[in-house]
Structures are given as C-alpha cells and as structure tokens.
Structure 1
Amino acid sequence: MASIQQINGDYYGSKETLTETLPYIKKRGIYTVSIKNYFGIADKELSLYDDAIYYYKEAAKDCTDSITKQAPLGNIASVYIQQKKYDQAINILESLNKKIANNIPGTSSKATVIDNLGYAYFKKGLSDKGFSLMNEGLEMRKKDDDIYGSIESNLHLAEYYSKIDSKKSNQHALEAYKTATKLNSIDERLRGLQFLILNNSGIQSNQYAQKYITLNDSIIKIRNNFKNKFAKIKYDSKKEKDENQQLRLEKAENQLSLERAQFKQFLFIVIFCFLAVLIFYLRKYYRKINRIEKIKTAYDTETRIAKDIHDELANDVFNTITYTQTQPLVNEDNKEMLLQKLDRIYSRVRGISRENNDVDTGSNYATNLKEMLSTYNSNQTNVIIKDIERIDWNSIEDLKKIAIQRVLQELMVNMKKHSEAAVVVVKFESNSNNLFIDYSDNGKGFEKAKIIKNGLQNMENRILATKGTITFDTEPDKGFKVKITMPK
C-alpha cells in the first residue's frame, strides 16, 4: 500500500502507512530493509534529505550481504547530490562502479551508477568527465532498452547543455518529455517541460508553459483525489474489520454483561442496606447530640438568667422594698425616688429579656443592634456607636450577624460588671471582603493572662466559628480593647 501511495505522489500518506508496519517487525531482514528504504524515498521526495539519508543508512545496516546493500547506498548518493555534497556522492558511486567493473553479480544497474556518477562530476564542476559518463550511461540504457532509465539520462544531459548549447539541451529535454508522456511518468514530464520552457522563446515557450501549468494543476487534482479515495478505502476496510471484531466481542461481552449486571444488583443491595443502617444510626446519633446541645444551651441560658436576676435584679428589688418600708411615701421626693428605682428595675428586666431573645437578622438588624448597645448608656457610662449605619448588613450572613450581636452583648455585660468604664466606643468599618469591629473602653482593664478566666473565651469561640479573628488588648488601669475581623 505504501508503494502504491508513493507511485501516486502521496508521500505523507505513504509514511503513515509504513508506520503501521512497525508493530509487526520481529527481527531485522529483507522486510525492514524494504520498509526503511521506502521511508527514505518518501523523505527524499519531500525534500527531507537528512531524514532520507538516516533511513537509507538504516536500511543498509539491515542488509545481510553486500549485494542487497547496493540499492540503499545508491539512494544515499542521489540524496548527497541533492544536498550538493558531491564529493560524498562520488565516493559512494565510484565504489559501486568499481564493483560493477569487477563483475560482481547482482549489483545496481551499471548504467544508473555511471549516469549518476557523471551527473555528480558535472555538478561539482568537472563538466568534461561528467559529460562523458552521462553520455555513456545514456548509450548503455539505449542498448539495454531501458526506456524509463533513459528519461533520467536525457534530463541530466539537458541540464548539462542548458548553458552551452540550448539546441542540444532542447533535444534531450524533448526526448525525455516524449518518453515520460508515453510511460505516463508525470514528474519527469514536468521536469522536461521546465527545460523546454527555458530553451525556447516566444510562442513555443508559452505553449510549453501552458502545458506545464495544465499538467501540474491536473496532477495535483488527481493526486488529491487519490489521497481521498485511498483514505476512504482504508477507512471502509478498517470499519468492516472493526465491525466483525465488534460482533465477536459482543458475543463474548453478552455473558460478561449478564454476570456483571447480577453482581452489580447484588452489590447495590448490599450497599443500600449498609447505607440505610448507617443513615439510621447517624440520624439517631446526631439527634442525640442535638438534644444534648439544646439541653446544655438551655441550661447555660437559664443559669445566666438566674445569675443576672440574683446578682442585680434581686438586689434592686430588695433595696426598693426596703425603701418603701423605711421611707414615708406621702413625701413627694420619696415618691419620685421610688419611681426612679422602679424604672431602673423595669429597664433591667427589659435588658435581661432582650439579651435572651432571638436575634432579628432582617432589615431592622442594625437598629436593634444599636438599641441593644445603647441600653448600656447610664449616668456613669457613655456608649458611643460609630458608623453602624454605613455597613451593608444585607451582605453579611445571618449566622455571622447573630455571632456579632452575641459577642458585643457579652462585651457590654463584661464592661458593666467589671470595667467601671466612663466611655465605651464601638466602631464599625468594612471593605469588599471583610467587616471590622473595634471595641474600646477606658475602664480599669486586667491582666491578659486572665482573659479566659474572665469569660471571654466564649467570644473567641463564636468568632472563630465564623472563620473570623478576635484579639484582646488590655492591661491593668489602661482600659480594654477588642478588634474583630470577620469575612462577609
């Protein structure tokens, strides 16, 4: 197939087909010589001269005797001529010619070697010696009735005469053209026409030029059609082979498919049962965990509420009761003082209620947060809230809003109980990725080592759970500062 493709000018396709033979090569021999020689021919015609020489040399290495080695050596010499490495070509051809002169049987055609040797001498600049050998080669081919070989000899002589005698050059070119036309050798016809175009002028030259263009366009079209046809034949053949192979595979696969289906069904049932049991126990486990967590949360909330009521609210109520028992309420000033005490108790009850209510994360979040912070304003403490309205709270997740409110609430409770601060500042800032909250007060502070003991570990846990960070900065008598950074 590769040979047929080369005859029809499809050298790339020929190399592709030759590549398909390589997996079938078991050892070096006549087949590897042939394959590599065809690779060399394809590369030579594609002007890949170095690659061509490589394959010709590899073919020569695989030759088992000196006789079969002559063909690839002759091909190497032809490529050297194309590369203008005339001395290297002459060395090979002289060696071949010597073997022919010594009557070694089976060597390359004597006429071919002599003609190529003469052409190499001519291209090197030794025109007389080259002409003599080329002319001798032509006469030998005529004597041996080597019609195809005479085409190459006439083309060589046409090139030799092209610069010294256009008439003789024209005769040899015309002879090569006619013989190539008779044998339907397209490439040689085109080479002959090239010389005829150069050797003639006027109308005659134009006619040859027109023939060259027509012939060249025609051969390109024919060779392209051949490539497409050959590709389709290969495709159809491969498709038929694959279909037959597929039928055999399908028969073998049918039984395997049935067994696989049965195994998959069994495996599916096993996996389904395992997952069902696993889901059941996981559901039961997480329900238990959630129930314990809810109980713990409720307990913590109840404990905190009881502590607030005992530590603050109960004391206020007791003081108010004592006041009513010891002070005459008919006095207007005493009545006013009683009302103030009752108002403080009411405010404290509302504060405890607000601390333990669900957090509203909707559109009123900022207002409610500000109101919660403001409840810690008193005659002793001034709470300043900065830029809370400038934050786009809609871009922040609900869980993070809840964490923010709970942490700020704990900070304010901590401040109320421990810091004795006169001024508290809570500042809000944000950029495209993060929310920043800065808390600071001028209270009495405490040692950093006591942060966990003071109940601030819970705040840190809340912030870390939202992938944020919280840092505490405090020293005795130097206030308390907290910086919170939370991704939106």
Structure 2
Amino acid sequence: MFRLLLCLPLIWFCACTQSNEHLDPTSKNNDSLAFYNNEAREAQYSMQERLEFANRAFEGVREQPKHPLYTKILYNKNWLHYSLGQYDSLVHYDAVMQKNAAVNTAPKEMGMQHYLLGYYFELVKHQSDSAFKRYNRSKTYYQQANDSSGTGTALLNMGGIQYKKRDYFGSKETLTEALKYIKKETDSVTYWSAMDRIAQSHRHLHNYEEALAFYANITKEAPKANLSVYKNNYATVYIDLKKYQKAIAILEPLVLDTLANSETTQARVLDNLTYARWSSGVFVKPQDFLKPLEVRKLQDDKRGIISSYLHLSEFYLKPQPELARAYLDSAKIQAKEINSSGGELEVLVFKMQLEPQNAALKERYIKLRDSLYESELKVKTQFAKYKYDDELKEQSILRLENEKNLRELELAQERFTKLWIIAALVVAILLILLIYYVQRYKARQLKIQHNIDRLSAIYDTEAAISRRLHDDFGSGLNTAMLLLQRQENIDAILDQLEKLYNQSRDFSRSLNDIDTGAGFKDALSLMLRSQVPQDTNLLLLGFHKIDWDLVRPVNKITLYKILRELMLNMRKHSAAKRVTLKFEMHSKHLKIMYSDNGKGASHEALQLKNGLRITEKRIEAIGGSISFETDEQSGFTSHIKIPF
C-alpha cells in the first residue's frame, strides 16, 4: 500500500498528456524546446522515443541553466532515466541539476526531482537515510512553490521511513504535520493513508485509546477503495489489547469481500483472523495459517512471511515444539534478509519459551534489545537532525534572501528618495521660475495699468481744466466783451475784470504745487474750511492726532486733491448743513471717513460725476482705495484708505 502511494506522483506525471493537438515544431507560438519537451511527455511514444525527445530538448538548454525551461526539461529527462532503469544517468543528471539549483527558478520541479531521488534511494538502493534527506528537501521546495499536495506527500513518505525504522513518535509527528497540507476532499488517498499510519504509530507506542479513536474516524469516513486495509489494521489494535471478539467482528466481513481486497491484503486479513480465533479459544486448522503464508510467499511479502512464521511457531509452541522451532528459524532467516532487528527479537522471545534454561538465548536477546534500542535512538536523533539541519539551512537561505531583499529595498528606497529629491528640486525650481515670471508679468501689467491710470487721470484732469476754463472764464470773458461793446459803466467792466482775475488766481492756486512738508497739515485744514459754505458746519475728528510725517508726499497730494474734490462736490450739489471728516491712524494706512447730511445722489448719478471718477483713479494709482455710499434721503458717505 505504501509503495503504491510512493508511485502515485510518478504515475500521475506519466499520465499527464496533452489533450490538445500535437505542437508543430515550426509553429510561431511554440519554439523547438517546448515542442521536444512536450513530446517527451506524450504517452503514445515508447519510453526510449520519449527519452530521445528529452535529450534534444536538453541539448538546447545545456549551457543555459537560467533558461525558464531548464529545470522542467532536466526533471523530465531524469524521470525517463529512472523509468528505463538507467540509474547511473539518473544520478549523473541529478548532480547537474543540483549544481545549478541556486539559479533555478522552478521550485515545484526541484521538489519533484528530490522526490524522485528519494523514491530511488528508498526502493532501489534501500538507503533510508538518503531517501529521508531527499524527501525532506522535496518538502522544502514544494513549500516554496505553495504546492500543499506535494508537501503533504513528501511528509507522508518521511513519516513512512520513520515508521519502518521504528521511530514511531517521530513518524506520528511528521505525519501529523503532513495532514496540515493534505486536503481530504481532493487528495483522499494520501490523507487517509497518513491517518492510518498515525494510528499504527499510536498502536506501537501503546497509545491504544488514541489508535482506536483514529480508526473509528477512518473506518467511518475513508473511501471504500482502501477500507479493507484500514479495517485490518483496526483489528490489530484489538488483538494487541486481547479483545479478540472485536477483532473477529471486524475481520470476518473482510474475508468474504474478496473483490475489494488485493491478494496481499486478503492474506493479512486471513492470517489475523485465524490468529484472533485461535487466541480466543476457537479451534482452527493449521491450513488456516498456511494458506495466507503461501499467498505471501507468492507475493514475496517478506514482513508478511515473518508474521505468518511467528503465528505458526506460537500455534505449535506447546503441541509441537520442534516444528515451532523450525518456523522460528525460518522467521529469523527472513528477518536477517530485510535487516529487521525487531523481527529477530520476536523470534528470540518465542525461542526463550522453548528453551527457558538457555543462557545464550537470553544474552543474545538482551544484547539485541539494547542494540535495537540504541539503533532506534540513533535513528530518532538522526531523523530529527536531518529535519533540524534542513530547517537551519532553509532559515539561513531565507535570512540571506531577506538580507538581499532588504538591501535591494534599501537601494530602491535610496533611488526613490533621490528621484523624489531631484523631482522636488525640479518642481521647486519650476515653481520659483513660474512665480518669478508671474510676479514679473503682474508687476509689468501693474506698471502698465498704473501708467494707463496716470495718463487717464491726466487726460481727465486736462478735460476738467478745459471745461472749467470754458465754463468759468469763457462766460466771464464773454460778459466783459458784451459790456465793452455796449460801452457800459466803466465800474461794471472793472468789477467783471476783477472777478476774472480772482477766478484765475484761485484756479492757478488749485493747480500749483501743494506744500507736503511741515505746512501740509495747516494747508489741508485751510483748504477744507475754505470750501465750506457759511451756513455749513465742518467737524474734523482725530485730525490733529495724525502724524503726517509718516505719509509719503505723493500720497499727501493725492489725499489733498481727493478731499478737495469731495468738498467741491458737496458745495456744488449736496446743500449739506453738516460735514464730518474722521481721521484714524492704522499700522499701515490712514483711514478717513467723509460724511454729510446733504441731498445725496442716486448710484446712476454718482457714476456720471467726472470728478469722482478721477478721484478713484488717483487713489488706486498709489495703492489706496475709496468707496462711496449715497442715498437721496440720507446724504453722502465715503471711506478712504491711504497707505503710508
């Protein structure tokens, strides 16, 4: 049964043939390597023909161990060497494969290769240690490939070797680990075989309750295909416990189901049933023991033959001691052939019953028992060491890989950081250049706009002067000319000329330079008061608290003309009885609030006043601001901000 399980991956691999049409070696989608490798797996060809395809494929990658198909091609070739019994070639190309293992990137195929060599060492070379090592390496590669089925199968074989070497505790641990990877639903044969072997390990460790619990579960859920094997092993637990009737109840139905049993299984069932019946006191004939023995001889079942000889020797121990001794000698020969110290030890137990006074037998028994104990201890330690060393090696590899990955990550982070720094510098430079050019553009545009505003203010001022000259002086001159033409009273003409002179003087003063020095405060106060009609009260709040030295000369001139325009507008249009000017000092600007209780004006009329438009342009040119609030019922208000 166990050997069949070992063969399953190989049988599966052999049966994996393509369902599609054969690849064309000239096809654009498949190169010659893939073609020959796939042909080497086709079951329709003979094994020798398949090997020829594999050799052709390998020739294409012999010097390219990093080629993606290298490991797959070489594993395929090795499997064919094994199948053809070409073991020297198998070992040679396995060495080639292991030599290039460091650069291989196909962990699953590496796992399959180690599994194949484990199978070779176990069943061909009978070297359990080497087989165990290879299965252990196979497990590691299967884990790297995330192949749970392969991992579980490798562990199952490792546990089987430990079981054969009587390392039952180690076997139980290994098989329990295997169950973590084997899926009951998709790999039931492997799963239930592992469960059976764990139960048998419990049996040999005398953990009978655990063994019975396992078998109760196995016989309830396991598929029918191997159920006879599991039930037979179930019965052996009851035989060890001397509960023969329970063993008989399990075994008797199995004898009748000959179609479900192989000859090997049928022989085991018959032998165990006969032994259970005889042990329970039921009469049995010697033929009942001899029949399964003959089957075992035909099947060359060495361990089964030893079991039959021991049962027959026990059967004849009292009635025919000499015949019992003959069977014991035969059992001893078989045990030595397969190097079974345990079988030889059981032979000595019965021989000491035949010859209780034979000191040599007792001495041999003690020596063999101690030797077997030391051997089992050595095996346990050895297998544990193999697993431990492999774990250390794997940890070392993982540590080196982690260190390599960490270095690569650090280098990548450094490159990433440098790229970010460079990118940040580039972005910063671009932003600085962008801000510089935007600010430069804005400054240029602001300068242009400032010049435009200045020109506009100049043009508006010239237009205002022109209208004033036309309206005031034009009408006055026209009146004087009429008086001269009519030869009116000379006093009237002189009065008109004096009026024109006063107007020209006032007009000249309004255009002359404004004192922006120490006399600005008095000049501004005089101008404000001179513009107020006799029946209007002027209230100046905070005027004397202002430090006029903080205000730039050009801003003083602008403020002077703005306030004069507001006072002129009040005098001509508002008929206000009270005018209030409130001055406030702030950290960066001077704030003035003008208000009167005159007639006010609509927003439409306000927009048409040319003087106010000029005022707005003047204050905007120096970075200040002015706003108007007016209503025909509540008067006129203006808020002015002048920067220092």
> Given the two structures, how large is their TM-score scaled by the length of structure 2?
0.37
> Given the two structures, how large is their TM-score scaled by the length of structure 1?
0.48
Structure with larger Rg: 2
